[in-house]
Amino acid sequence: MPLTKMPAPTLDALLDHTSRLKHDLGKYVRFQGRWLPPDATVEARREALAADLLHTRRGPDGSVDAATVWAEFSGVLTGQVPLAGEPIDLSDDPDVAAILAAMAALGPVIGDLRADRLDAAGLDAGERAADDVAEAVRRLVDRVRSLVRERRS
Amino acid sequence: MADILIVDDQDRYLELCRAAIPEHRYRGPVRNLAEALDVLSRARGRVDCVLLDVHFDIPAEQLVGYEPGLSERALGDLRKRQGLLILEELRSRYPDLPVIVMTSREELALERELGGEEFTYFLDDDYVDARALQGQLASIVELRRSGESDGPVFWGRSMAMRRIRQRLSVLARGRLPVVLLGPTGSGKSLIARHYVHARSGRSGQFVAVDLSTIPTDLMAAHLFGSVKGAYTGSVGDRTGAFEAAHQGTLFLDEVGNLSTDAQKMLLSVLQEGKITRLGDLKERPVDVKLVVATNEDLAQRVRAGTFRADLYMRLNPATSVVLPALSERSLDTAELLTFCLEQALERPYLRELLSEYRLAAKLEGTRVRIVCGEGAPDPELHTLVLLFPERALRLLRQHHWPGNLREFAMTAENAVLFALAEMTAAGGGDRADVVTVRPKLVKDLLGALPEAASGPSEKGSLAIRVTLAPQDTLNKVSVDCETQYFTELYLRNDGDFAAMAELLLGDREHARKIQLRFNQLGLKVRELKERL
């Protein structure tokens, strides 16, 4: 179902869901990496990417990686878990599709980081994909928010 | 270097700030409101800015707004907007503490309407950018620091003094006279010279006349000038203060001492913009920004018939600026002390004494770091620390200061002088690079001052008005008194509940108790903040 045709209560619930996605994943999937100076060493970049992707959400009980965080949200966006009582499938939405693609690209990067074997090419690809996730999440939330505002006004 | 408190349920902001913005000192992260208030209370105004996260995944009972029995959804909502609830609480106690909320306004816009709080800042982007945050912090700190002093004028951080400064900056540019009121030593003359005149945009000189030191029969000649033979002993033409201050500023201190003749002549100058020297017929145009000061109640003098009502009205009394006594500015003590010590250390005789001490203690370098209210810092290369420990600072806070800023500055200067002399005579203390102003020395210095031992004078007391009706219960009378007392204390302590707790209960930690009583009395923080 396209965003524009979604009923208001579903759209409200979607704004809540995507806002949490932004807070839990979009903000932290590229958090340390964004603070690095432009001339950061490969090692510093790798460390930052590892911190961002392997410890995306931190809490008193430990940390979880980006793939696990995404798994909590993806079900709703792809229609496998209902939202406000009914499933919505946004797989064809350009931003959700971009997140799905970038998260798929991050899978092997996360594996390589865990095994401490991420090479320079993998590092570049990982940073690009993490950037893509962060930006696509931001665009998705912005679009949902402006639709909610339109409806409310 | 600024002192920044991080309020965050995670360590991320602290780690990143330390790595990417290492020029500042970071406290925390503290995880909830109670911890934040604790740190702020202990820091006693030394925190320059707070970085505040919004979403807090913390135990339910630590959440602001938590009540037993709340649903999971309600708890989730509390966690999601916890930062804003913390902000609200911080604002009630620290109305002018800069807080950067670590998200964008856009992100919060749908959740609630946020007022344009003057000292609340947001990020431009939720995805925090180190360089943007670094710039934001730098500008906030610069703004905060720049507001503290203008040359030798110390304003401090209190809202009341900021408002006075703002008001004077407007009055300085205008054409009308400025009236400065306030107790002796509260800085009227410094403000007239270094703030009002400096901002008046006038090219002429600043001329100050203390009317309490001029004999009544010479006052008119002193102010308006005279020609040869105008009075006995007048052997030549004389330029008066008005002419000397042409196109500049004339500051008349103790204006209540103006003689009757001089009052009449001053009124004429204010009306016509011209003066006539004594014994002369020629009128001379003068363009002067007039600033008058007094610690007397001029309106009362008018009622008593000793000050002309028409002159009083010409002096623009509606815009009078009242400078508070130092005892009403206890929030600023540490900063004021640092300011006075910095100024004192510029004096040649103290510089010489410092050199002697360095020589005796075999210390290199010339840098002096002033530390007030804390322990001695780790040694730094070529740096001599002038340490004013917390106990010594507390003595200054407790003193009534009848002589106000002047007395305070002299005490600070004496403290440095004697501490240096003691250290030089003793050949250094435990650490040669630390000159400590001992509490005992401060106590001795304060003990030598008048009124120091007798506690607050009548001026420092609170006046409470009680109107009794025959049917009033004792409880109502008591609540009336307490309400007035709390209101006054709140205003005098710039809304700092911790300071009130220290005063009333002897412990800053009991700020919450004071706030609860405040609420029970029906006092509204928002309304009182307007009066700060």
CATH class of B328-447: mainly alpha
Domain boundaries, given as residue ranges, for chain B: 3-146, 155-324, 328-447, 474-529
Of B512 and B239, which is predicted with more confidence?
Answer: B239
pLDDT of residue B427: 73
As a whole number of angstroms, the distance between CA B504 and CA B485 comes to 11
Contact B503, B493 (CB under 8 A): yes
Q: Is there a contact between B501 and B513 (Cβ–Cβ < 8 Å)?
A: yes
Taking one residue from A and the other from B, the number of pairs with CB-CB distance under 8 angstroms is 39
pLDDT score recorded for residue B30: 94
The β-bridge partners of B386 are: B370, B435
Which residues 115-144 on chain A approach chain B with CB closer than 8 angstroms? 134, 138
pLDDT at B132: 85
Q: Are B149 and B85 in contact (CB under 8 A)?
A: no
8 Å CB contact of A58 and B11: yes
What ipTM was estimated for this complex? 0.84
Q: Is the pLDDT of residue A108 over 90?
A: yes
pLDDT bin (cut points 50, 70, 90) of residue B461 is low
Residues with Cβ < 8 Å from B207, sequence gap 6 or more?
Answer: B241, B244, B245, B248, B249, B250, B251
Q: Which of B11, B20, B126 is nearest residue A35 as measured by Cβ atoms?
A: B20
- Partner-chain contact B16 A32, CB within 8 Å: yes
Find, in chain A, the residue whose alpha carbon is nearest to that of B56. Answer: A59
Mean pLDDT of B119-140: 85
CATH of segment(s) B3-146: 3.40.50.2300
Which of B16, B110, B128 minimises the CB distance to A148?
B110
CA-derived radius of gyration, chain B: 27
Residues of A whose CB is below 8 A from B107: 19
CATH number at residue A10: 1.20.120
Closest CA–CA distance from residue B6 to any residue of chain A (Å): 17
- Quote the minimal CA–CA distance from A111 to chain B in Å: 23
SS (H, E, C) B445-475: HHHCCCCCCCCCCHHHCCCCCCCCCCCCCHH
A28-32, B21-25, B434-438: lowest mean pLDDT where? B21-25
Closest CA to B86 of B94, A83, B488: B94
Higher pLDDT, A28 or B499: A28
Q: What is the pLDDT of residues B333-351, one digit of tens each?
A: 888 898 899 889 988 899 8
- Which tokens belong to A39? 């001339």
CA distance B505 to B496: 14
Which structural domain range is residue A26 located in? 3-152
Considering B118-132, B380-394, B490-504, the range whose residues carry the highest mean pLDDT is B380-394
Examine the pLDDT at B281 and tell me if it is beyond 60. Answer: yes
pLDDT tens for residues B340-396? 998 899 888 998 888 888 888 888 877 888 988 778 888 888 889 999 998 898 888
Residues 4 through 43 of chain A touching chain B, CB cutoff 8 Å: 15, 19, 22-23, 26-28, 30-32, 34-35
Q: Which residues contact B86 (CB under 8 A, 6 or more apart)?
A: B7, B32, B33, B36, B52, B56, B64
- Closest chain A C-alpha to B130 CA, distance in angstroms: 5
Q: Say what the pLDDT of residue A55 is.
A: 94
B134: nearest CA in chain A? A35
Alpha carbons within 13 angstroms on the beta-carbon side of residue B402 total: 13
| Angle formed at CA B241 by CA B240 and CA B245, multiple of 5 degrees | 125
Least confident of B1-10, B137-146, B300-309, B435-444: B137-146
Q: How many other C-beta atoms lie within 10 A of the C-beta of residue B184?
A: 14
Determine the average pLDDT of the residues in B212-218: 88
Q: Select from 3.40.50.1010, 3.40.50.2300, 3.40.50.300, 3.40.47.10 the CATH code of B155-324.
A: 3.40.50.300
State the total domains in chain A. 1
Give how far A34 is from chain B: nearest CA, Å. 7
Mean pLDDT is lowest, of B151-155, B221-225, B470-474, for: B470-474
| Mean pLDDT for chain B overall | 85
A55-64, B117-126, B309-318, B320-329: least confident range: B117-126
pLDDT of amino acid A144: 94
Q: Do B130 and A149 touch (CB under 8 A)?
A: no
Q: Which of A63-77, B68-82, B486-500 has the highest mean pLDDT?
A: A63-77
Phi, psi of B246 (to 5 degrees): -55, 130
Answer with the residue of higher pLDDT: B128 or B265: B265
Indicate the angle between helix axes B390-398 and B404-426, nearest 10 degrees: 150
Residues whose CB falls within 8 Å of the CB of residue B269, separated by 6 or more in sequence, listed in order = B224, B242, B275, B286, B288
Mutation for testing the B interface, residue in A15, A24, A25, A27 having most B CBs under 10 Å: A27
